[in-house]
Chains A and B, each alone.
Chain A
């Protein structure tokens, strides 16, 4: 039409709040850092190796898969890095390198890329990786045997395994303060409860995770564990013990919140979280596994599409206030 000038033409809105996937992922990694660093200090170079290898291999798998599938390589959004980091945090420091690499392959390729990549995964990719690797090499994930060579100054027992075998009497061996300060045996990034809580609260304040899911997951844990505990205090541990051991906090703040496998509407988020927490305790207390977090969250991932259908009525679809009548309150 008119003489052309080179102006940028695109569509409204012309503003953006400046947030991005990369920003979100960097914040998640920063929030996970205290707990990870603590684990590295506790378990030494081996732990550092596992975490680094996990992050690096996850990114490499994503890049490789993208090349193979002729998709653009997007590892700079740190999506794979977050998956790798969380996977690394869930591992024992002694896990051999080949298991780490296989695990991240499962996370990235089977957990996410075959569903179309970021945003397409129905399950938390990290947990897909964890579930498959821990089932395949169960002995590598027994924290008591895996960490037998460490000289530690506190009770060197996996609290959840001890609970499973010896009943609630073991709770006395793990005072809350030592659990909070990471004096327990477990995965690299799961032992430092205080660090995980701090990171989680940071993410909630920044708005990068949905606090509704976190809180209802924790509520599910506490209430279910409390019910078990009052019915049989000899057999079942206290809610606090469950909260601070195993993968509970990692699950509550980092795993159950994974964006594409969790709901976004309020009521579904609460249902999702409560069921997750409840199931975690059920598996721990009456199921076969010492820690139920992984399966519990995978299960709620599965029902997420169903429950996220419950949503508020959209504007104008509710009831006509005045169906055709004159308006009442317009003139003041």
Chain B
């Protein structure tokens, strides 16, 4: 953990880690006997589900919850479904989880293989959602299909070789690992999406590699916040950030290098790719990389590579500033899980219920000039609308630095995420109501 330095005159500058030179191949984690899949649709107890306990699925077969469902999760292995149960996400959003028991014999589901002769974004979206790296297929497919675009018009695709938190290196690893095939992959992506404005963002240090000569490269410094999408877009791509709008709404689509190569490989091998590369950071900060099938419970990974976890430790999905804590070792590998980190119980910082003492550290460090010291008072009082209207809640790019430095140890970042979540929920409800009238 990076602590405050003795000289506190200027605020700390956090740097993102660079991928190590000459990285080793990720260690392959064997397919476990049981996988857990998350499906982004709540269970409705009044309806009969399409998928049932005891159903057999083949690798790559899509599982829909109900007949009219649009969301699906693809089975990463062939097996038998043993559980269909409700799951609650980080902010209480409702979803469903399924347990698949792996079969000894692995068959590939045919429908994808049969329909892929020409790359086309609609078929890719119909079959390849949730492959390793989680390419934004749904977004691209809907934007391409005018009727469903919701005003989203993707003009530019950014292939992201930078990670979203300071210790993470998975995307950079994928970039160096696949660098020689990158130009072919870009051509493939152009063909698949019909969008020709494609750039690759990568850290300054990696851009020197000769493999990238002649490509559309955007070089990013290793200063922590530069790598976050809104900042990157505003600072390096010249597209102004608009509070409350996502990069997608502004015409940008990000796809990680790994996701791109999963797509390419799924087409070339005629079989969806479900092996996710994950960087594991143990308690001492040592990094290793594994490749695990989506759905693998994370304890399998820890056991396999000998990372210890004890009571009261913290398991973090993502990095130290923006990640999410997992409450169980049975949490599955998800398509976008780039980093897993274990933090020893003895170094977990406490939070407090102190009020803001107006020390101003958050205001100094905030890269987006959010008046955090005032904002936090409104958020603590649940005045989300005021926070958004007068105190720039939506200018926040969720870097987590304000909480990192807060003298009073207020969980500011959580308040901010919650505030945004609540406001977005209200907005969605209003849209829904308007539609129903």
Contacts and interface: CB of A to CB of B under 8 A. Distances in A.
B303 interface: no
B313 interface: yes
Contact of B355 (A116, A313, A326): A116
A117 B355 contact: yes
B49 interface: no
Contacts of A211: 9
In this complex, the member of B4, B36, B88 whose beta carbon has the largest number of chain A beta carbons within 10 angstroms is B4
B341 to A, nearest CB: 8
B242 A316 contact: yes
Given A264-B373, A321-B240, A330-B236, A17 B326 contact: no
A315 interface: yes
B395 A317 contact: yes
Interface stretch (B120-128, B136-144, B187-195, B359-367): B359-367
A68 to B, nearest CB: 19
A98 interface: no
Interface string A1-45: 111111111111111111111011000000000000000000000
A297 to B, nearest CB: 16
A332 B325 contact: no
Nearest to B309: A7
Contact of B243 (A11, A12, A77, A314): A314
B315 interface: yes
A146 interface: no
B200 to A, nearest CB: 11
B320 A6 contact: no
Contact of A1 (B10, B87, B321): B87
Interface in B325-364: 325-331, 341, 343, 345, 348-349, 351, 354-361, 363-364
B367 A315 contact: yes
Interface SS, A side: loop
A21 B357 contact: yes
Given A211-B9, A331-B216, A119 B239 contact: no
A9 B405 CA distance: 20
A14 B368 contact: no
A15 B1 contact: yes
Interface in B239-285: 239-243
B358 A10 contact: no
Contacts of B314: 7-10, 14
B316 A8 contact: no
A315 B241 contact: yes
Majority secondary structure, B binding face: loop
Interface stretch (A183-191, A199-207, A224-232, A242-250): A199-207
Contacts, number: 229
A259 interface: yes
A138 interface: no
Contacts of B112: none
B369 A314 contact: yes
Contacts of A265: 363, 371
Contacts of A24: 359, 407
Residue from A8, A116, A208 having most chain B Cβ neighbours under 10 A: A8
Interface string A204-234: 1111101100000000000000000000000
B173 interface: no
B13 interface: no
B102 interface: no
A50 B3 CA distance: 37
A314 B230 CA distance: 13
A330 B357 contact: no
A172 interface: no
A85 B311 CA distance: 43
B384 interface: no
Nearest to B244: A316
Nearest to B377: A119
A7 B367 contact: no
A19 B240 contact: no
Contacts of B199: 330-331
B179 interface: no
Contacts of A175: none
A311 B405 CA distance: 20
B161 interface: no
Contacts of A326: 155
A263 to B, nearest CB: 8
Given A260-B357, A265-B363, A205 B325 contact: no
A24 B369 CA distance: 24
Given A3-B328, A5-B328, A119 B407 contact: no
24 contacts: A1-B97, A5-B311, A5-B329, A9-B314, A12-B322, A12-B324, A13-B322, A14-B314, A14-B323, A14-B348, A17-B404, A21-B407, A116-B355, A207-B361, A208-B8, A265-B371, A314-B369, A314-B395, A315-B367, A315-B368, A327-B156, A327-B237, A327-B239, A330-B156
Q: Which 10 A-B pairs have the closest CB atoms?
A: A207-B8, A315-B368, A264-B360, A16-B349, A2-B330, A314-B392, A314-B395, A11-B414, A316-B241, A13-B400
Given A74-B354, A265-B363, 13 more contacts: A1-B85, A4-B328, A7-B309, A7-B325, A7-B326, A10-B411, A13-B400, A205-B9, A211-B9, A264-B364, A311-B369, A314-B368, A317-B395
